[in-house]
Structure 1
Amino acid sequence: MSQSASNVRLRSARHAAGYRSQQELATALGVGVRQVRRWESENPPWPHPELQQALTDLLGQDLESLGFTPPAGRDRPHTLRRTTAGTAVAAAGLAAIPVQTTAAIQPASVAADFEAVTRSHRRLYWSVTPATLHPAAVAHAALGCALLTETTGQTRRSVAAALAESYLLAGRIEFFDLRDSEHAGRTLLLALQAAGQADDPLLGAAILAHSAFIPAWDSEREAAAERMVAARTYARRGPASTEFLAWLDAVEAECETRCGNIRTALHLIGHAEDVLRHGTGHTSPPWMDWFSGARLAAFKGNTQLVAGHLPQARTTLLSVLEDMPATEDKQRTVVYGDLAAVEAAAGNPEQACAYARQALDQLGITWYAMGMDRIREVRRTLAPHQHEQCVRDLDEHLYGWSTTVSALAR
């Protein structure tokens, strides 16, 4: 079939929606490839009623714009619907991810271009100052929302997945780096909506698990547990990798620790360790760059600390420092903070202050609000020793202009 003797409009719309071959579109519609060939011929037959809406939904244009001519005597078809399930979300007073609303369709290459920036932000998170990266991530997400209105089919799903990841990154910065739980909750909701548009259950599971941290930090166990049940439900649709399943255990353990259920938390960490020893064979998604065996050990050390198992916590956390890659600057701050807490609880103020100063030195390189929270908590426990020189030296490090302003602003 020559290009001059074909339905160029339908073929162009198919490519723009990310369906590179006629077979891919046929599979998406649940029809034979021969049917798509007939539609892309010079005189395409009018689609059957049950396929008309499917075509317009997948390709983002009405039938006439796709090169079809209504049979004589038949009413013109309705144009592409302009309302979606997002209306229900908006009616509930929540922000909603936009839907395709215009016939100006972007080419399929836009998905790869948008994903490339998302990947760059993912890598920059580990070194760029959060206050600098956050506006860039939010602006990139705004671009993704605009692109969702101009893409269809596989291209739209790819953009939606990258958009969900961008919102997840922004939400993580808001919660872990900036300690803004209120904004983090709203941002993670947007991430979940975008993951739904992408129909990506693992990404949805990751977002839900992150959202469980928010109520857990306020000791709201029921809300945190409900979100973890949802996260595990989505993960079963995955399939999830060994690391992903172990991470879910670690997140739930952290939530249980925050809610005072230490025995349950230790059981979950033990289960995570067993999971890592027996792989599922599935590969972790590329965006899951926040978990490893060393990260699990860090979770364990913190739980042992809270449980009062100080010798075990010290051993675990020291091994984490040895195994942690050089790029783990933020996590290293948290581990130093936990080691400081171990020594403070063990009655070793000088060693506690030494670890706390190491944490502060690391924070001077890469800011991490969670790390600073650890140091402030250690300082509070050192109140009985506040007249000792080691504690006064720690205060000189802790109460610089920037950290003092930050503390008063909270």
Structure 2
Amino acid sequence: MAARPAGNTRLKSARLAAGYASQQALADALGVGVRQVRRWESDAPPWPQPELGQALSRLLGQDLEALGLTSPNGPATDRGRRPLPVTSSAAVGLAAVPPQAVGMLQPASAAVDFGAVTRAHRRLYWSVAPSTLHPSIVAHSTLGCALLLETAGQTRKAVAAALAETYLLAGRIEFFDLRDEAAAEQTLLRALQAAGEADDPLLGAAVLGHMAFVPGWNGRREEAVERMVAARTYARRGDASAELLAWLDAVEAECETRCGNTRTALHLIGHAEDVLAEDAGRRSPEWLDWFSAVRLAAFKGNTQLKAGHYPQARTTLLGVLESLNASEEKQSTVVLGDLAAVEAAAGHPEESCAFALRALTQLEKTWYAMGMDRVREVRRALAPHQHDRCVRELDDRLYGWSTTVSALSR
């Protein structure tokens, strides 16, 4: 049986990311019939009328060519226009790639070589400063977009999968390390579109899970839930491993915690623990290197902290700190910050400052914006004790030349 055509995956991905879960929902927002949206999402999408095209671009946040639509005058590259130059964000490039590549100009080894660099970037993320690594990843994504023009068939799918992972890593750095949510949102959309080009539902689930963080961390619960529903749908299509399913529970728990629903969050974490305990043996993708049972426990400790369960949070987080590998410096800063917050909430300023100082020591070696955010939250919680000697010592470190410059330059 012939494979069913995937259609215009770029527009589908952008529609989903913009919160329009169905073709009908987008049609209603545009004031057109659903048949029109179906045509745009087909293998041969027509170019919309000017006013309708502007509305479509405005709703989905991309120009029409990035949405997989080809102008009657030909794609941008056919008109002699070069792809957009790379800036601080990785969210460029796919607009210049037509939905169907023409010809095969590169051998299959091109996908292997491109993927090897993607894997190297993934490993370097844990040790190289994010501001140093990010430009290399952005440049690599530009190369991937060019390779999509020069490959076809399975080679093109392999390039697209590696490109999706590259965009995902760039988006993770922009969100977690550089704290640039706007750039992360656009980069993750490119990652979702590339995953669609690769027809890789598990990568799609991972990207959508990360996209849920953005609204979830800002209290936009309904939007986060919609993205999590989409992520779980993609995970089912790809027969996801226990680790990936548990991570999706952890992401949703984090979003619920940020929205003040700690009881729901703890229920989700309990479900994730059960999923890991009943692991059916499906192998996780090699790119899923940001999650484990220990990382799940770190999610749990933070939620227990936010729920006011301080003794439980202390026990959980101390266990996480003991179990983390030496290479997990970034995660350790977050856990130390949460332990400092537990002690601050319990009225133990000296213990709180001790954990916060350990976090700062680690941040001087390996910068992580999320870790610094935790320390700053702790310092605000210690305001009633700001004249204590331990808090003043913390301030001396928190506002030292090296720490302050590092924090303000990222």
Distance in 1 (CA, whole Å) between partners of 2:267 and 2:46 is 40
1:329 aligns with 2:329: yes
Q: SS state of the match for residue 121, structure 1?
A: helix
> Equivalent residue for 1:94?
62
Q: Deviations over 1:83-108 (max 9, x none)?
A: 96697899625163223555461111
Kindly provide the amino acid, as one letter, of the partner of residue 108 in structure 1.
A
**Match of residue 262 from structure 2:** 262
The structure-2 alpha-carbon separation of the partners of 1:87 and 1:307, relative to structure 1 and needing over 3 Å to count, comes to: farther
- Letter of the 1:234 partner, please give it: Y
Aligned match of 1:10: none
Tell me: CA distance 1:129–1:376, structure 2 relative to 1, closer, same or farther (3 Å): same
- Give the conservation status (yes or no) of the 8 Å contact 2:243–2:284: yes
> Is 1:221–2:189 an aligned residue pair?
no
Q: Any conservation in 1 of the 2:102–2:152 contact (CA below 8 Å)?
A: no
- Percent sequence identity is 71
Q: Is the 8 A contact 2:141 2:167 kept in 1?
A: yes
CA distance in 2, matches of 1:242, 1:104: 37
The amino acid of 1:273's aligned partner reads E
Which amino acid is 2:241 matched to?
A: S
Aligned to 1:297: 297
Task: Provide the rounded CA distance (Å) in 1 between the counterparts of 2:373 and 2:112.
Answer: 38
Residue type matched to 1:379 in 2? Answer: R
* TM-score relative to the length of structure 2: 0.78
Matches within 5 A, 1:331-370: 331-370=331-370
| Equivalent residue, structure 2, for 1:384 | 384
Within 2, Cα distance between the matches of 1:407 and 1:400?
Answer: 11
Q: Distance in 2 between the 1:86 and 1:403 partners?
A: 54
Please name the residue that 1:242 is paired with. Answer: 242
Task: Name the amino acid aligned to 1:130.
Answer: P
2:77 corresponds to which residue?
Answer: none
Tell me how far apart the structure 2 counterparts of residues 241 and 146 of structure 1 sit (CA, whole Å): 32
**C-alpha distance in 1 between matches for 2:244 and 2:295:** 12
1:105-133 Cα deviation digits (max 9, x unpaired)? 11111000000000000000000000001
| Cα distance change, pair 327–256 in 1 and its aligned pair in 2 (3 A) | same
SS in 2 for 1:128: coil
- Aligned partner letter, 2:169: L
CA distance, structure 1, for counterparts of residue 215 and residue 373 of structure 2: 17
Matched, 1:208 2:176: no
Larger Rg: 1
Structure 2, unmatched stretches of 5+, are 5-42, 67-93
What is the TM-score when the length of structure 1 is the normalising length? 0.78
**Residue pairs, 1:148-159, within 5 angstroms:** 148-159=148-159
Aligned to 1:35: none
- CA positional deviation for 1:404: 2.8
What does the per-residue CA deviation read over 1:294-336, in whole Å, with 9 as the maximum and x for residues that have no partner? 0000000000000000000000000001111111110000000
Runs of 4 or more, structure 1, over 3 Å off, are 27-30, 83-91, 100-104, 405-410
Matches within 5 A, 1:153-192: 153-192=153-192
* Aligned residue number for residue 71 of structure 2: none
- In the other structure, the counterpart of 1:285 is 285
Within-5 A mapping of 1:58-97:
92=57, 93-94=61-62, 96=66, 97=94
Q: Which amino acid aligns with 2:140?
A: H
Distance 1:237 1:102 in 2: 29
Q: Which residue of 2 aligns with 1:139?
A: 139
Please list the CA deviations of residues 211-250 of structure 1 after superposition, one character each: whole Å capped at 9, or x if unmatched. Answer: 0000011100000000000000000001100111111100
Kindly tell me the number of residue pairs found equivalent between the two proteins.
332
The alpha carbon displacement at 1:340 in A equals: 0.2
2:273 is aligned with 1:273: yes
**Cα-to-partner distance string for 1:345-385 (whole Å, 9 max, x where unaligned):** 00010110000010011111111000000000000000111
Task: Supply the distance in 1 between the matched residues of 2:217 and 2:269 (Cα, whole angstroms).
Answer: 18
SS of the residue corresponding to residue 224 of structure 1 reads helix
Contact 2:103 2:152 in 1 (8 A): no
| Unaligned segments of structure 1, at least 5 residues | 1-26, 31-82
Aligned alpha-carbon RMSD (Å): 2.1
C-alpha contact 2:243 2:291 (8 A) present in aligned 1: yes
Letter of the aligned partner of 1:112 in structure 2?
V
Q: Could you say which residue in structure 1 is the equivalent of 2:320?
A: 320
Q: Which amino acid aligns with 1:144?
A: G
Compute the displacement of 1:400 (Å).
2.2
Alignment deviations for residues 17-41 of structure 1 (CA, whole Å, 9 cap, x no partner): xxxxxxxxxx8789xxxxxxxxxxx
Which AA in structure 1 matches 2:198?
Answer: A
Cα shift at 1:406: 5.7
Cα distance in 1 between the residues matched to 2:187 and 2:162: 14
Quote the Cα distance in structure 1 between the aligned partners of 2:378 and 2:291: 25
TM-fit CA distance, 1:280: 2.2
